[in-house]
Amino acid sequence: MEPKAAPKAPEAKASLKLPTPGLSPKASPLGKLQVPGAASPSRLSTSSTSSAWKGVRGSMFLGGLGRSNFFTEKQALVISFGQAYTKVGLAGESRPRAIFRTPELRGRERKDSEADAEVTLPVPQEEWVQILDGLLNRIFFQYLHLSPKDRRIIVCESVYSSTQFRKALAFVLFKLFSAPSVCFVLELVLPLYLTGLHSGLVVDLGYDAARVLPTFAGVPLLSAYSAAACGVRRVLQGIKGALGSLSSEERKALEDETVLEDVLVCACYVSCDFPEDSEFAASSFRTDKDAEVRLVGRDHGLRVPAACRDIGLFFKSDKDATREDGCECETLPEAFVRALELSPVDLRSQLVQNIVVCGGAANLRGLLPRLALELQKALEDHKALGALAEKLRFTPVEFAPVSAAWTGGAIFGALEGVADYSAEDFHKGEPLPDWLRSGFL
């Protein structure tokens, strides 16, 4: 008998090596980040890329997450409340399912006869319950078409969110909508989830203020939080004042804040004076041409003079401007320097190497180059922080800056092992998680 041939060894399948997260490579504040060793997109083969992605996708579902876990567990609801816009959607998704205006979440202002000035009053808890009842009803059943009874809820909250608002939110979620659990997450930490780094400085250009918060190893440094009274509302008021020479019909159109936002996005920019030795020295983003903004529902557009198009209120001090509560600074560079001053000395070098800019005004044309130069100049002029100027690095994110906090919350909501505040804790009278309470972190 002839000896049987030995069985052939199974061929080893080629495994796809995924890149491991690392520190952000050094780059110019104005340049694009380059990943060392990464292949150029033009050199990648379409067929090889497609097959590699199929292998990764199959390993994710079959060998990693598992089909049953991925398809049976219901995604958490992610809500990011804002004084201008609120964003809602599901965890694990890259963008919100709905973004809508919520002016009812802004503070109430009234005339103080003694001080002869406009003051912002705290909204009582009973009024917040009525506001949130109607707002959450719209979110769950009009925008998302989902029931909150069997889904976790992730709330991206502000640093100094009022106690009345948080208590009213918990009451409405647990009492009126029977939510199983809620998780409060600090919104100024969430944009770091888009960079893959656990430490950095988040600059948020919000509606009422521009806020800066350092975070190290995933822990927010609340003692170093800083805010400047140069939010988008101040910019819109400046545009409205600069367009005072328009006709009565056009001035009436400017009473609508959405029209001012259209003017800001479509016609305005931030000029920038580059150093003489820079390759961009010949360009300053300035123009002497007027712009015309088309208004929805109107036959004619709105002409914006060239002198009104240059927006520099983020970097100019205005002594007469009304400061919001908690705003110690007047300009964005001043708030940035103050946040670094309040940060521990041994952490400053690592913090300035990962700066993430987000918020409604982050996409304003010319803002990022001007911000990079202004922050670098502010650090160079500072006696104790001058050495950090050459380490300044901006990290671009591949998502819309206006919803960066929400997208970070969607990533956070898809993680396992997150501690939630359950309905059982609420009915037992357990205190709500509070970032400012001693011993919470």
Domain with residue 328: its CATH number is: 3.30.420.40
Shared domain for 91 and 177, answered yes or no, is yes
| Domain assignment present for 22 | no
CA angle 189, 406, 25 (to 5 degrees): 55
| Domain assignment present for 301 | yes
| Domain assignment present for 150 | yes
Report residue 57 CA to chain centroid gap: 29
For residues 283 and 236, what is the distance between their CA atoms, to the nearest angstrom? 26
Shared domain for 383 and 407, answered yes or no, is no
Shared domain for 303 and 332, answered yes or no, is no
Shared domain for 90 and 186, answered yes or no, is yes
pLDDT for 326 equals 59
Domain that holds residue 97: 77-191+403-427
Query: What is the identity of the amino acid at 163?
Result: T
pLDDT for 176 equals 95
| Domain assignment present for 100 | yes
| Domain assignment present for 133 | yes
Shared domain for 302 and 171, answered yes or no, is no
Shared domain for 165 and 254, answered yes or no, is no
Report residue 440 CA to chain centroid gap: 24
Shared domain for 254 and 348, answered yes or no, is no
| Domain assignment present for 58 | no
- Which of 281, 313, 345 is at the close of a domain? 313
pLDDT for 61 equals 33
- Dihedral (C-alpha) 139, 140, 144, 148: value to the nearest 10 degrees? 140
| Domain assignment present for 14 | no
pLDDT for 141 equals 95
For residues 180 and 356, what is the distance between their CA atoms, to the nearest angstrom? 33
pLDDT for 329 equals 81
Q: Three-state SS across 262-273? A: HHHHHHCECCCC
Shared domain for 111 and 222, answered yes or no, is no
| Domain assignment present for 38 | no
* pTM for this entry: 0.78
Mean pLDDT by 10 residues, the chain (441 residues): 50 40 37 38 39 36 39 83 93 94 76 52 88 96 93 92 92 95 93 93 92 93 91 88 75 82 88 66 68 76 82 75 65 94 94 94 89 92 92 92 94 88 93 67 44
Distances in Å between the Cα of 361 and the Cα atoms of 118, 161, 204, 270, 295 are 26, 22, 9, 11, 20
- Which of 261, 284, 313 is at the close of a domain? 313
- Which of 313, 348, 379 is at the close of a domain? 313
340 near 352, Cβ under 8 Å?
Answer: yes
Residues contacting residue 171 through CB under 8 Å, at least 6 positions apart: 125, 129
pLDDT for 85 equals 94
Shared domain for 219 and 328, answered yes or no, is yes
Shared domain for 307 and 374, answered yes or no, is no
Distances in Å between the Cα of 140 and the Cα atoms of 97, 133, 148, 151, 157 are 11, 11, 7, 11, 18
**Structural domains counted in the chain:** 3
pLDDT for 165 equals 93
Shared domain for 358 and 209, answered yes or no, is yes
Residue in the block written with tokens 């800019």: 357
Shared domain for 214 and 268, answered yes or no, is no
Tokens found for residue 164: 């009345």
For residues 164 and 372, what is the distance between their CA atoms, to the nearest angstrom? 38
